[in-house]
Amino acid sequence: MHTTGGLMDNQAPNNNYNNGNYNGGNNYNGGNNNYNNGNNGNNNNNNGDKKNNHNGQMILSFIMVTLVALFFISFFASRFSQMSSKETTYSDFLKQLEHNNIKTVEFGNYEIDYTLVEDKAAYKITYYTGMVNDPDLIKTLKESKTSEGNPIEISATVPDNTSTWLLNILSFVIPLVILWILFGMLMKKMGGGAMGVGKTTAKVYVEKTTGVTFKDVAGQDEAKESLQEVVDFLHNPKKYRDIGAKLPKGALLVGPPGTGKTLLAKAVAGEAGVPFFSLAGSDFVEMFVGVGASRVRDLFEDGKKNAPCIIFIDEIDAVARRRGTGMGGGHDEREQTLNQLLVEMDGFGVNEGIIVMAATNRVDILDPAILRPGRFDRKVVVGRPDVKGRKEILEVHSRNKKLGDDVDLETVARTTAGFAGADLENLMNEAAINAAAHNRQFISRKDIEQAFIKIGIGKEKKSRLISDEEKRITAYHEAGHAILFHELKDVGPVHTISIIPTGTGAAGYTMPLPGKDEMFNTKGKMLQNIIVSLGGRIAEELVFDDVTTGASQDIKQATQTARAMVTQYGFSDKLGLVNYGSDDDEVFIGRDLAHTKSYGENVASLIDAEVKDIIDDCYNKAKEIIVKHRRVLDDCAKLLIEKEKITGEEFDALFEA
C-alpha cells in the first residue's frame, strides 16, 4: 500500500516476515550440549540453602515489621499525648483560679491536672502542674466558682501502679496484635514468601475455564498437528511408555506477534483437560535478587502437585536471553532465574507429567542451553497464515457477527496478505464497530474496507480542508503508482485508489490486491517494487515540472530494498554472492554490544554505487511506462479529483477507453 504525504508511506504487513529468520537457529545445539553442566550441579546443591534463606527472609521480614510498628506506635502515642496535655507553672494555675477560669481539678500522686472554662479547642486539653505544699488550696477551691457561677469539680486519682502498668502494656500490645492479624491476612492473600515476592503469580486454568480447543484455532494446521501428539501423550501416556517413548519436556512456539501462540497453548490444555499454568516471562523478573529463581521453584512445585499439567511461559525471551555479556556479571537476577529454569526442566529432579510450553518472537536471542533437546524438545513455528488460513481465521471471528450479502471472506483474505490472526480479529471487530456506529444491522463490504484503511494507514479525514492544487498533486502522485501496479505483473492489480487524507498524515493511498501469497521474494519482484515506489515522484515531475516531499517515504523504501538486494541477497553482479549486511537489530542483552562493518571503504563505495545504479535503472523503466500511458495518468487524476476514491474496476476501465 503506497501512501502520499511526505511523512507516511505505510504498507500492508510484509508477508515475507519469516524468510530466513528461523532456519538460522537450527545450529544452536552444535557443541553446546554441555553449556550449563557446571551450573546445573551448583544449582541443585544450593536448593536446600536457598530454601533456608527463604525462611530466614520471612523471619527477618516479621522482625522488621514489628520494629517499624513499635516505632510508629511510640511516635504517635507521644504526639497525641503532647497534643492533649500541656504543662504549666503553679503560678499560672493560681492566676486561672483567681480569674474563675478553672472548671475541674484533679489531684494526682505527683501533679495537679485541671481544665479551663474558656478552652475552645477542637479537643479537650488537660493542663498539669507540680504538686506544691499549699494547705489552703482545698479551702480556696471550695470557695471559688467558675465564671459561669458553677462550683469547681474537685477529684483525686486512687494510686494503682498495677493498672497503670497494665494499661501501658495493653496500649502497645493491642495495636501489635491487630497489626499481626492484618499482616498474616496480607501474607496469605499474596501467597506467602517475603511479602509474597517469592511465590509464583501463575494463573491456573482447567478445561472448563480455558474454553479453548483446536476448533478455535484456524490457519495453523501444521502447528496443531505437532501439538496434537502432545495432547495424545497426555491422554494415553501408557501407549507411548510401552514402546519406550518419553514424554516431551517442552514445546517452544516461535512466530511473529499475533499469530496465535498463546491461543495454541490454551487449546492444548483445553484438549488435554489438564491444569494449565499461564504466566509471562517478565513475571519472574523482580528487583530483589533470587526472587525469580524462587518463583520458578514454586511454579514447578505447584506443577508437580497437579501433574499431569502444562506450564506456559509467554514471552520467554524476557528471562531466557543469552548469557555471558559481562553486564551484571554471572550472578544477576535474570541469569539466576534462567539457571533455575534450566535445572527444573532438565535437572536431577523428576518432573514427570509436566510439559513446559513457551512462546517467543525472538528465538534468535535465546540462550542455546534452553533450546537443546531435553528442555524444549520441539520447536513449533507459528507463522503468518496464507490465503486459505486467513479465510479460516476470518470465518472463526465471524461466527457471532452478522455479515451482509456483499461480504466475500475469500476476497477479504486475499486483500489482507501478511495479516496475522490478531490483525484479522481486529479487522472484523473494527468492521462491526463501524457498522454499529452507522446503525446498520449487518456488516457490509464497505465496513470491512473502512476497517482495513483505519488499521493500515489511519482513519480517513474527510473533513480536512485541502487546496485544489494539493488535491491535484496527490491525484497525479497516486495515479503514477496505480499505473505501475497495473502494468507490472508481480505487484498488482489495483484494488482502491484514494486522495482522502488519513489520520497518519498521508495525503492519499493506492491499495493493491495481491493475487497470491508468496513464500519468498524474487529479484524481479523486488525490482518491480522499487519501480512502483518511484511512480509518484515521476508523475509529479512530468506534470508539474516540480517535485514535492510527498515521495520521501517512497524513496526511503526504494533505497532500503535496493540496499538489501546488494548487501544481503547477492543480487549484484559486481559484488557477487557475498553477504555484506550488518546487524541492524536493536541491541539486546545477550548479543554483541558493538557492531562493526565486515568490509572496507572500497567495498562500501561499491555498495553505494550499485544501489544508486539499481534505483536509477528502475527510475528510467518507471518513467518509460508512465510516459507511455500519459493519457491514463491524466484521466485517472481527473477521475480522482472528481470522486476522491475509485475502485480497481474503475481504474482498469481507463485503459480500455
* Residue positions annotated with a catalytic role: 478
Torsion, Cα of 636, 640, 641, 642 (10° steps): 100
272 within 8 A of 228, measured Cβ to Cβ: no
Do 362 and 21 contact (CB within 8 A), yes or no?
no
Residue from 454, 521, 461 nearest 14 by CA: 521
Question: Three-state secondary structure along 68-108?
Answer: HHHHHHHHHHHHHHHHHEEECCHHHHHHHHHCCCEEEEEEC
The burial of 29, by beta-carbon neighbours within 10 Å (0-12 exposed, 13-18 middle, 19 or more buried), is given as: middle
Which long-range contacts link 394-398 to residues 24+ away (Cβ below 8 Å)? Answer: 394/424, 394/428, 395/218, 396/216, 396/218, 397/424, 397/425, 397/428, 397/429, 398/428
- Residue 507 near residue 501, CB atoms below 8 Å: yes
End-to-end CA distance of the chain: 26
User: Grid coordinates representing 577?
Assistant: 554472492
> Rounded to an integer, what is the distance from CA 515 to the centroid of its chain?
34
**Buried residues in 56-72 as b, exposed as e (16+ CB within 10 A):** ebbeeeeeeeeeebeee
* Residue 625: other Cβ atoms inside 10 A: 17
Q: Which residues pair with 380 in a beta bridge?
A: 253
Q: Are strands 2-4 and 508-512 parallel, antiparallel or unpaired?
A: antiparallel
Please work out, in degrees rounded to the nearest 5, the angle formed at the alpha carbon of residue 284 by the alpha carbons of 279 and 288: 150
Joined grid coordinates for residue 223: 502447528
Please name which of 58, 156, 144 lies closest in space to residue 99, comparing C-alpha atoms: 144
